A = this chain, B = another copy of it.
C-alpha cells in the first residue's frame, strides 16, 4: 500500500522480509517504487545503501522516498522514516548574473517555505558576464570564479535553512535555472568556447549532479537539476521561463521575451517553438547612461511629463530622493520625452520644447531630470543625446528581432495571443511606454503579461511537479533555434525601427505622434 502523488516524495509501505520473500532491503523498496512509478528501473546510489537496513527495520518498512527523474530515468535520492517529523525539502535557484534568488520548498506539499536573495559574488570579478568568462579562461580563474558562486550558494542556503528551521540534511533536491554561461561557471565547466565563434557550450543537456560533488553541503546524496540550454545564447533560464509561462501548452500562438543586454525570444504554441537571441544593447537595462542603475530604492522608475507645461513628475522606488534611473524608468522617460515633443521621431532633442532643461557640454546635449540640489547624490541627474541614441538603437534592435522571428514563421504580431515579458525587468516595464517608443509591437495592452521571476518560477515547478520536469526536456528538444543573420534585410528593418515609434507610423496606430 503506497500513496500516489504527483510530486517527488512517495510514501512506501512494504511487508518486512520473511523466509518466503527474501528480497534484499534495497530491492524490496525499489520494486514497490517501480510499480508505483510505473517504471522498469530505479537507480540507487551506494551511499544510500549503507544505512538502509537499519532505517527500514526501525520504521517497520514504512518510509518516505524522495525520487527524482534524471533524464527520463528514476533515481532514489533519499529515504526517511514515516515517523520522522522532519520534512523533505528542496531549493529552487534563479542563478542570475547579477542577483541570485533562492526559494526553499517543501517537497511533500509543494509549498514555498521561505525565500532569500543575494548579489552574485562573481560581481567582484566583473559585473559583466563577458569579463567573467575571460577571467575563467584558464583553470585557476575558472576554479576561483566557480568557488565564488558555490560558496555564495552554500552560505546563503545555509542561512535560509537556519532561519526557516530546516536541516541542511533534509534538502534532497535543488533546481538551478541560469543562462548558459552562469550554468557553466557554477558547474566549473570551461566557458571558453561560448564566446568564440561558432559559440559552443560544453554541454546542452546534463544529468543531475551530486550536490556534494559541487561543494554544496546539503543532504549527502542530494541531486542538483540544472536546466538544459539550447545554445550559448539561449540558456536554461529561458527554458525555465517557458515552463513557467505555459506558452508551450497553449493552442494560441504567444511570444515570450526576456529583455536585457541580450534579448531572448521564444515564439510558439503547443505544436511548435521557435527561438532566437540577439544583442539588444545594455541601454534597455539602464546600463549605458551614466546615471543608469538597477532598480532599487531611490531610483527613478516612472516619469510623467506634462506636454503643456513641460514639467517632470518623477517617481522613485520607495519615494526616496532620486539617485539614478533604471531601465524601465529610461523607457518611460523616452516615451514621455517623445509624447511631449521634447525629442523628435529621430530621437533628437527639440530645443524649442526642452527649454532650459537642455544643457550642453563639449558639444553633447543633455536634458536635466533632477537638478544637483534635489538629487540624492548632490549632482545633477541628466540624460544625454548619446544615452538617447543608444536607447533608440537598443529598442530598434529589440523590435527588429521580434519582427524577424515573427516573419520567419509567417505570421504577424496580430496573431499573438499573449506577449510574455520575463525577468524582474519585465515586472517594472510599462508596456504603454514601450509601445510608444516602438520597442514592442502595438498590441492591446491586455496582451502583455509580466511573468516576474519566471526563472525562479520554472525552477520551483520542476521541484513540485513531475509533469513540469518532463516538459523541460521536451521543450528543450522541440525548440528550433533561429540563428539571426545580420544581413541586408535585417539591417533595413533595423534602420526603419530607429525612428519613434517607427518609420511606418501605421504599425503603431495607438501612438499619437506629436506635431
Q: Interface residues, chain A, CB within 8 Å of chain B?
A: 17-20, 22-27, 40-41, 43-47, 49-50, 52-54, 70-73, 187-190, 192-193, 197-207, 209, 213-214, 229, 231-232, 481, 483
Contacts and interface: CB of A to CB of B under 8 A. Distances in A.
Contacts of A47: 213
B204 A44 contact: no
Nearest to A229: B24
A190 B56 CA distance: 13
A202 B44 contact: no
Contact of A44 (B46, B207, B214): B207
A19 B200 contact: no
A201 B24 contact: yes
B18 A49 contact: no
B202 A19 contact: no
B50 A199 contact: no
A46 B186 CA distance: 12
Contacts of A54: 190
A200 B24 contact: yes
B198 A50 contact: no
5 contacts: A22-B232, A26-B203, A27-B203, A43-B71, A53-B192
A111 to B, nearest CB: 31
Nearest to A70: B43
Nearest to A46: B209
A196 to B, nearest CB: 11
A197 to B, nearest CB: 7
B206 A46 contact: yes
B72 A41 contact: yes
A207 B22 contact: no
B24 A203 contact: yes
What is the count of identical protomers in the complex?
A: 2
B199 A22 contact: yes
A203 B25 contact: yes
Contact of A53 (B18, B27, B202): B202
Nearest to A197: B19
A200 B46 contact: no
A190 B483 CA distance: 56
Contacts of A70: 43
Contacts of A72: 40-41
Contacts of A27: 203-205
Given A19-B483, A50-B189, A483-B19, A202 B24 contact: yes
Given A50-B188, A188-B50, A202 B73 contact: no
A117 to B, nearest CB: 26
Contacts of A203: 24-27, 44, 49
A52 B202 contact: yes
Given A17-B200, A22-B483, A46-B213, 9 more contacts: A19-B483, A22-B232, A24-B200, A27-B203, A27-B204, A41-B73, A44-B203, A49-B203, A53-B202
A190 B22 contact: no
A367 to B, nearest CB: 42
Contacts of A193: 25, 53
A25 B198 contact: no
A83 to B, nearest CB: 21
Contacts of A201: 24-25
A45 B204 contact: no
A190 B24 contact: no
B23 A198 contact: no
Q: Pick from A18, A53, A209, A483 the residue with the most CB of B within 10 Å.
A: A53
A200 B22 contact: yes
A476 B193 CA distance: 46
B207 A45 contact: yes
Contacts of A18: 198
A150 to B, nearest CB: 13
Contacts of A44: 203, 206-207
A44 B204 CA distance: 12
Contacts of A192: 53
Q: Pick from A26, A40, A203, A205 the residue with the most CB of B within 10 Å.
A: A203
Contacts of A198: 17-19, 22
A17 to B, nearest CB: 5
A37 B204 CA distance: 20
B200 A25 contact: yes
